[in-house]
Structure 1
């Protein structure tokens, strides 16, 4: 009969005398009627008898590994201890006389009390680096005379890490606390799209970098656009560090004529941090951020990055020390021009004749207007404005100069500013001024 099942044979350990039998035991095709002795000395003696039985010193390397696997399985010794026992046997020692620790083991210098003192000290300090902690230990004895640190004053940084891995150290130093769920509202910003419901004050914000050199970074432009009116505020900062970004964000919020109700950003760390969240919470502004797999959720701000910011400033390097001048240009000239003199396209939802029950967005001629005109067209627009600001004031400011005059003023001021930057960064970045002129033309 073609029986392919392996036969299991019970053997006494003393009957295992061939390497094929050892391999069969390790593979499970043969079982042993064998119980290792509880005494470590008896188990070491058995190891020596197996090594003699198989003439271990005459075996080739693969066969030695087979015997070592057999010994480790039935002796219960670790790989390290087994290697030590084999080395002693090869030197002619009787393994039954060998103690559990090697003959040349290092004498223990630091007691359990020293380890406890070390753990207690590190718990108070919050576990410093090794070189810093050994200085603390040395000072505790040499400066303050604490007798508990007499031996620890000689502790090296490298051996400190060894003591940290010891069981005694972990017993005294490690503390376990119950896992706590995040408190309600602990996450920074909610992952959802803004819901303006035809109300101004829900802005989308993004940042634009103005190039680098080999050793210096350029300025950053911050671009915020209102979802409903497309009211846009542009600012410039030298870096996205919080000491530069937070004051500019507050100023951008104050530049808006209406109350800011929502603040939406992507997942950039310049916005998703506790400082920005705290600032928005103080002003009762809803903080939201983009959701995964919604690549076009912040498309309004990103499209303005190209249509406004890049068209105004281009792509060339602008040194960070010019951030203050460029930000003043944005506040005084660019932002009023964008909101009072630059028309924008606004979509209108109409029924889709090809898909009953669905709508599509169209852009009609009568829907092209400036952000200020869009704001004025909203029902009861005055209730959204900040205290002390009226639509009449904004419209009077818009009529103080024509659209073309405002555009010319912005262009001339930008060219002067870019020309100064080009003069400073000559000769390598002299194309900044010419690039700005070509874009404006």
Structure 2
């Protein structure tokens, strides 16, 4: 009867009227289409839709001092991620205090010790963006043979015995990609850790292929498998044919 009377007085549908009465005095969090969240509070000041909108206000716990201290420790840790930094902070602060290298007060210290990994990542997000490298990769995919060379599977790859190696090129560009510069071809046996390295004048297929054959001759045991990245210096017909001829898993 109460609901019938309420519907008659307000003009609401029965379902919506029931919702309004159920949420009277309660907070209801609603996800909006733009990804934001609003908190609706049902009280005696109903708007046209029956609810009054109030924005959530979260009290800021970690101020500028905590942020500066966190950046200070983050750089000192060689830029650890949030999960590792939260552990590092608890261990390093007592050491820094012992040597008078922690220039922050007790309140900042307590907040740093209690801060969560997720909050660390959120606070450091803008700082991390300053260090992002874009367009610096030296690997250009070799796509012509991508269907001829199988993706590595553990059934064909045995890391429990010597002979299965990882091969990679490292460019010594000094952060400036124009012109030519030396590369290092690094070949490491996964099981033993045995590593051979050769310097080549650029990443052309011919130099990479010749260096790989030279490294194979110097290896103390037969190379049975090669796992490389997808750069065109590796993904090419010469190396594919060579591996097939020598019965090497590529």
Q: Which has the higher contact order (CA 8 A, sep 6+)?
A: 2
Do these two structures clear the TM 0.5 threshold for a shared fold by scoring above it? no
TM-score by length of 2: 0.42
Larger Rg over CA atoms: 1
